């Protein structure tokens, strides 16, 4: 292979020239004065001002002597069924405290009562303290080889008193000393000169709102005298539109009063062509063939045998039968009953159980002697005389 990519082989370098920049236009100062008029002042046209009448509706009072029926339609038409209440499936597992008084005793306290202290005999051999008459040698290598050295006097630092400088502070920093700036003309300001207002004319605080929207002379608040109420002679019809037009359906579904939708039928055929389809027709385009590099490897004409090295060189050998040296399993033994005698049954000698004297409050064969410092009761055999 050449080792060259498609882009490097097909790419042709072009002559690239630098971009010419257009010089900026020179600023020309305008000497005319600014009119300071806004679009609102030029295009706004004032309209004649007139007072807007109030839009409040007329007051209407409705009164009647009859009592209003406050039963709604739902409560009148839908009556609850008289069905018995179902029993609960949940078992009544409420907690009932016992009536007996709690003794606060545990099972261990009931089953294992206190039987007094237990006197145990120590079988540990007595070890007499080893007392030596040779005095202890307290001389060590540190005491023999240590040489005391005299300590030097400790250095005490004396602070130097502050002395103010006699040279006056000029207030210049490194920046001010090193950077003096570039030599050149100072920058000119294009800000228009400020004109002081005339001191003789007072400040006119009139605005567009103050000039065109003046306060109206408000008349005094009108209070209407309350008229004496005279009840009407004709009885008031307290039926609503729902009570008049609503009929009891008796469980039947309500019919819809919605008008049917009108479907506009058009006999003209559907124009499925759009501006996009008419103006933009598909191009006659064929997909280019892929560019493959020429291969330098020459493939053999004969087909591959697909045989591995193991398949070509493997030679099968007959299986060799190995001799087993495992001992043979003996045949079934004759039916002989199992000997029930064991070493424990032949050599066991039953002995009389001896009860521990610590289980008794007053052990038999022992006499109370004293109470030691730990609060334990000491007993001695009855045959031993008291010392």
d(CA 177, CA 179): 6
Q: Tell me the average pLDDT across 302-323.
A: 83
pTM flag (> 0.75): no
**In the predicted model, what is the mean pLDDT of residues 244-266?**
74
- Could you give the CA distance from residue 189 to residue 323 in angstroms, rounded to a whole number? 119
Q: What whole-number distance in Å separates Cα of residue 232 and Cα of residue 63?
A: 8
Residues 314-327, mean pLDDT to the nearest whole number: 83
- Taking the C-alpha atoms of residue 7 and residue 10, their distance in angstroms, rounded to an integer, is 5
Which residue shows structure tokens 């004396």?
158
11 has pLDDT over 70: yes
Euclidean distance between CA atoms 72 and 246, whole angstroms: 13
At 204, the pLDDT band (50, 70, 90 cuts) reads: low
Per-residue pLDDT reduced to its tens digit, 72-122: 777 777 777 777 788 888 878 788 888 887 777 888 888 888 877 878 888
Res. 337 pLDDT band, cuts 50 70 90: low
Q: What are the respective helix, strand and coil percentages of the chain, to the nearest 5?
A: 15, 5, 80
Average pLDDT, the chain: 78
More confident: 78 or 205: 78
- pLDDT in the model for residue 172: 65
The predicted pLDDT at position 187 comes to 76
Q: Which of 383, 339, 349, 361 is nearest to 118 (CA)?
A: 361
Q: Is the pLDDT of residue 152 over 80?
A: yes
pLDDT, residue 387, reads: 58
pLDDT digits (tens, 9 = 90+) for 135-147: 777 788 888 888 8
**In 10 A of CB 3, how many CB atoms?**
6
Bigger pLDDT: 246 vs 374: 374
Rounded CA separation 110/104 (Å): 11
Read off φ and ψ for residue 172, nearest 5 degrees: -100, 135
Chain centroid to Cα 274, Å, comes to 53
351 SS3 class: coil
Q: Which two tokens stand for residue 292?
A: 């493959």
pLDDT at position 336: 65
Q: What separation in angstroms does the CA of 104 have from each of 100, 112, 213? A: 12, 15, 94
Residue 364: pLDDT over 70 = yes
With a cut of 80, say whether residue 235 has pLDDT above it.
yes
Sequence length of the chain is 387
**Spatial separation of the C-alpha atoms in residues 239 and 69, rounded to whole Å:** 9
Q: What pLDDT, on the 0 to 100 scale, is given for residue 312?
A: 84
Alpha carbon separation from 238 to 72, 244, 247, 248 (Å, rounded): 14, 10, 17, 19
Confidence of residue 203 (pLDDT cuts 50, 70, 90): low
């Amino acid at each position: 292979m050449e080792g060259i990519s498609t882009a490097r082989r097909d790419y042709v370098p072009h002559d690239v020239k630098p971009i010419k920049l257009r010089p900026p236009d020179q600023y020309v100062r305008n000497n005319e004065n600014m009119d300071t008029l806004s679009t609102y002042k030029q295009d706004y046209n004032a309209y004649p001002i007139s007072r807007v009448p109030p839009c409040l509706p007329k007051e209407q009072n409705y009164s009647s002597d009859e009592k209003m029926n406050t039963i709604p339609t739902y409560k009148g038409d839908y009556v609850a069924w008289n069905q018995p209440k179902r029993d609960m499936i949940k078992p009544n597992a409420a907690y009932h405290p016992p009536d007996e008084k709690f003794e606060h005793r545990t099972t261990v306290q009931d089953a294992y009562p206190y039987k007094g202290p237990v006197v145990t005999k120590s079988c540990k051999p007595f070890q007499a303290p080893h007392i030596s008459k040779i005095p202890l040698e307290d001389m060590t290598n540190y005491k023999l080889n240590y040489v005391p050295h005299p300590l030097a006097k400790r250095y005490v630092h004396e602070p130097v008193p502050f002395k103010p400088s006699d040279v006056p502070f000029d207030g210049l920093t490194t920046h001010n000393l090193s950077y003096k700036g570039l030599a050149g003309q100072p920058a000119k300001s294009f800000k228009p000169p400020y004109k002081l207002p005339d001191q003789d004319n007072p400040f006119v605080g009139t605005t567009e709102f103050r000039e065109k929207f003046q306060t109206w002379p408000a008349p005094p608040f009108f209070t209407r005298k309350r008229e004496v109420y005279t009840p009407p002679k004709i009885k008031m019809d307290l039926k609503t539109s729902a009570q008049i037009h609503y009929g009891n359906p008796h469980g039947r579904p309500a019919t819809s009063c919605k008008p049917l939708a009108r479907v506009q039928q058009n006999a003209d055929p559907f124009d499925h062509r759009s501006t996009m389809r008419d103006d933009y027709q598909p191009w006659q385009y064929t997909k280019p063939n892929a560019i493959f590099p020429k291969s330098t490897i020459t493939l053999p004409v004969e087909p591959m045998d697909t045989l591995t090295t193991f398949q070509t060189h493997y030679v099968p050998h007959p299986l060799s039968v190995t001799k087993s040296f495992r001992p043979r399993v003996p045949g079934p033994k004759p039916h002989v009953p199992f000997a029930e005698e064991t070493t424990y049954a032949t050599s066991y000698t039953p002995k009389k159980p001896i009860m521990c004297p610590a289980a008794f409050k007053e052990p038999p064969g022992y006499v109370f002697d004293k109470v030691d410092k730990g609060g334990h009761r000491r007993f001695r055999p009855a045959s031993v005389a008291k010392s």
